[in-house]
Amino acid sequence: MGTGRWLGFLLILALSASFAESKYLKYKDSKQPLGARIKDLMKRMTLAEKIGQMTQIERAVASADVVKQYYIGSILSGGGSTPGLRSTASDWVNMVNNYQHGALSTRLGIPMIYGIDAVHGHNTVYNATIFPHNVGLGVTRQDALIIIIDLDPELVKKIGAATALEVRATGIPYVFAPCIAVCRDPRWGRCYESYSEDHSIVQLMTEIITGLQGEIPKNSKKGVPFVDWKKNKVAACAKHYVGDGGTNKGVNEDNTIINKQGLFGIHMPAYLNSIVKGVSTVMISYSSWNGVKMHANHELITNVLKGKLRFRGFVISDYEGIDRITSPPHANYSYSIEQSINAGLDMIMVPDNYNEFIGGLTNLIAKKAISMSRIDDAVKRILRVKFTMGLFENPLADTSLSSKIGCQEHRDLARRAVRESLVLLKNEKIGSGRRMLPLPKKADKILVVGTHADNLGNQCGGWTIEWQGVTGNGLTSGTTILSAVKSAVDSKTQVVFAENPDENFVKNGGFSYALVVVGEQPYAETKGDSQDLTLSEPGPAIIKNTCGVIDCVVVLVTGRPVVIQPYLSSMKALVAAWLPGTEGQGVSDVIFGDYGFTGKLARTWFKTTDQLPMNVGDLHYDPLFPFGYGIETKAI
Ligand code: GLC
């Protein structure tokens, strides 16, 4: 072959090689090491594409076009934000896939990650299993609390796995859970999202992360995020970093006034457990520490969380969290962006004004108020989570897991969690010489009263279908405590229900005994802040009109300890049921003796609110029921 032809041949060879090279995208090759994929992708990204990855927007302002145009890296459902009323799994999957197509159609095709609050099951989704809120889970199966905390982390791990399955069934790969707050004052409206006032219980409960994300491989590098995609797991989020449960008087989003030893000794330990378990993300708290907003706290976010604790996932803001750096919120948005990104936040839950955020951040980088190295750190962390969880290989969801939503196996697990979350606080002898509990299934006629006996929304509490929860029935599927009682008693036993009876009705009804189910109306976040912690009306009157007349057991459905001492002497038995969720049979299983009471208080039960804050270990400690208290009974 002549020289010219040889040269022509070599040229074609070189061109085809470079063409092949340009077609081959290392970051898309799952056989490549994680670091190589991140490096390859980073070097291809423009500034706009990097800023897009740091931007999380609410689904209500999102569309495939917006995602494509602004290279949006993440979308969320805020509390109660759904594709429609009673949306099905395929409604959710279609919605998430639609946004994902927008992301995949960008130049580099980086998949977006969709996040949602699944804090006691997949609580936004109709027909999903709603588990007890964390305040109840922190109670499950403790023995001799002073000596050994025999908590059942296996139970919360199973709950995490069930929740992950139901979340993935809707096409969502990321949850803003668990909340690992250590609630130190029950006046805080989010105390029910906290497992305990004792950090050691919260640390044990971080096992839910393993349920959500999967077992982290033994040889994993500390702090590196891990999600077992093939086992239908999701990325988790330890929140809210740090000290959210320690604010002054329990005022939500307020100031946590405590020295470094106290902050690191009480509020920090569960983050260490979470990082060791490979938690993928950490959400920053709205609150302040000694007057410094957490969303602007470089020392605790960059130097401690990312430095000393070597957290390698990404740090996300709370909803409009950067806006609230200033007072009033959003007063100086450019300052908020600068402070939060330079403090070490990687992804910003904007969630609506993404134009303003993207424009503001772009300007601050242009002015060198924020360095490119800070931006690259943020984007690397976001990509690390997306690559690690397999989102590049599996960006689109399907409806193959639809049957897992609210499946019987999960409801049975939730029923078990309800049983083990109940705490028996009083159980006196009655006329016949036996103790009030367990109740006999055989009786001529029994009375069930109270605002929470036949009210699924009240027994689920906040963060259920709606952000603030929904009182009443019909919000989703489940079993009320009344329905559970009717199924549990002997077929010949007549069950009479009266939500708010007067004394005469109780006196003249010929009832063998009464079950009183009262508590708090649903609430979430600041709406739940309470300085007086009283039972929702007409709870006190119902107790008086019923327990003052016949033998009664009171079941409290509350997100925290409430004022109960004034009514205690009138009741023969008292049970704390917290916020049990959809499976009310867990309550009837135990009050009728099919199972024994095993729960021990994971929170101190005060006498009066002027004692607060009062926690186990305090010098002045004079509770109505102490931390770790709970009467045990045997199944009959
Ligand atoms: C809320 C909560 C946070 C939640 C986020 C998204 O305000 O503070 O716990 O994950 O916004 O809904």
Q: Where in the chain is the domain with CATH 3.20.20.300?
A: 48-116+317-396, 173-310
Backbone angles phi, psi at 57, to 5 degrees: -120, 160
Give residue 176 CA to ligand 1 midpoint distance, Å: 7
Task: Give the CA angle between residues 319, 322, 324 to the nearest 5°.
Answer: 85
Q: pLDDT digits over 196-219, tens only? A: 999 999 999 999 999 999 999 998
Predicted local distance difference test score (pLDDT) of residue 193? 98
d(CA 59, ligand 1 centre) in Å: 14
Q: How far is CA 383 from the centre of its chain?
A: 24
For residue range 465-496, what is the model confidence (pLDDT) as tens digits? 999 999 999 999 999 999 999 999 999 999 99
- Residues labelled catalytic: 318, 525
CA distance 171 to 93: 5
The pLDDT score that the predictor gives to residue 149 is 43
Sole residue written with tokens 């200033």 = 326
CA of 405 relative to ligand 1 center, distance in Å? 23
What is the predicted pLDDT for the residue at 9?
76
| Shortest-distance atom of ligand 1 to CA 193 | 9
Q: Answer whether 576's CB lies under 8 Å from 518's CB.
A: no
Residue nearest ligand 1's atom 6 by CA:
78
Longest CA–CA separation in the chain, Å: 116
C-alpha of residue 177 to centroid of ligand 1, in Å: 10
> Class for domain 173-310, per CATH?
alpha beta
Residue with more model confidence, 8 or 363? 363
Our mutation pick for probing the ligand 1 site, out of 237, 318, 464, counting the most ligand atoms within 8 A of Cβ, is: 318
Residue 431 pLDDT level (bands cut at 50, 70, 90): confident
For the chain, the average pLDDT equals 96
If pLDDT is split at 50, 70 and 90, which confidence band does 150 have? very low
Residue pLDDT, tens place only, 372-398: 999 999 999 999 999 999 999 999 999
Cα 102 to ligand 1 centroid, rounded to whole Å: 25
Q: Whose CA is nearest to atom 12 of ligand 1?
A: 78
Contact predicate 613/591, CB 8 Å? no
Distance 319 CA to ligand 1 centre (A): 6
CA-closest residue to ligand 1 atom 10: 176
Nearest CA to ligand 1 atom 1: 319
Helix (H) or strand (E) holding 276: helix 269-276
pLDDT tens readout for residues 297-340 = 999 999 999 999 999 999 999 999 999 999 999 999 999 999 99
The model's pLDDT over 511-565, given as tens digits with 9 standing for 90+, comes to 999 999 999 999 999 999 999 999 988 999 999 999 999 999 999 999 999 999 9
Mutate to test the pocket of ligand 1, among 176, 240, 527 (most ligand atoms within 8 A of CB): 176
Residue 319 alpha carbon, nearest atom of ligand 1: 11
Q: How far is the CA of 198 from the centre of ligand 1 (A)?
A: 23
Closest of 239, 415, 226, 255 to residue 315, by C-alpha: 239
Rounded distance between C-alpha atoms, residue 263 and residue 2, angstroms: 80
| Per-residue pLDDT at 142 | 54
Residue-wise pLDDT tens digits, 216-245: 999 888 889 999 999 999 999 999 999 999
* Residues 142-171, mean pLDDT to the nearest whole number: 78
How many whole angstroms from 392 Cα to the centroid of ligand 1? 26
Atom of ligand 1 nearest to the CA of 237: 10
Q: Which of 362, 233, 243 is nearest to 301 (CA)?
A: 243
Contact 468, 521 (CB under 8 A): no
CATH topology assigned to domain 408-611:
Rossmann fold (3.40.50)
So what's the pLDDT on residue 204?
95
pLDDT tops 50 at residue 146: no
* 604: pLDDT strictly greater than 60: yes
Q: Where in the chain is the domain with CATH 3.40.50.1700?
A: 408-611
Give the nearest ligand 1 atom to 240 CA: 9
- With a Cβ cut-off of 6 Å, ligand 1 is lined by 78-79, 117, 176, 239, 318-319
Query: For residue 268, is pLDDT > 90?
Result: yes
The residue to mutate among 77, 81, 82, 117, having the most atoms of ligand 1 within 8 angstroms of its beta carbon, is: 117
Position 611 confidence tier, pLDDT thresholds 50, 70, 90: very high
Q: Quick one: which of 151, 128, 252 has its CA closest to 198?
A: 151
> Span 155-178, mean pLDDT?
98
The minimum-distance atom of ligand 1 relative to the CA of 77 is 12
Looking at residue 5, its pLDDT comes to 83
Helix, strand or coil, per DSSP, at residue 525: helix
Residue 2 has pLDDT above 80, yes or no: no
- Tens digit of each residue's pLDDT (9 = 90 or more) over 83-131: 999 999 999 999 999 999 999 999 999 999 999 999 999 999 999 999 9
From the CA of 115, give the closest atom in ligand 1. Answer: 6
pLDDT of residue 3: 76
- Which residue lies with its CA nearest to atom 8 of ligand 1? 318
Distance CA 516, CA 451 (A): 9
Return the pLDDT at 220.
87
The predicted pLDDT at position 144 comes to 37
Pairing of strands 113-116, 237-241: unpaired
> How far, in Å, is the centroid of ligand 1 from the Cα of 612?
26
CATH tag for 48-116+317-396 (out of 3.40.50.2300, 3.40.120.10, 3.40.50.720, 3.20.20.300): 3.20.20.300
Nearest residue (CA) to ligand 1, atom 7: 319
User: Parallel, antiparallel, or unpaired for β 552-557 and 514-519?
Assistant: parallel
pLDDT at 12: 75
Note the pLDDT of residue 432.
83
All residues at 6 or more sequence positions from 396 whose CB lies less than 8 Å from its CB, including other chains = 97, 100, 101
Closest atom, ligand 1, to C-alpha of 177: 10
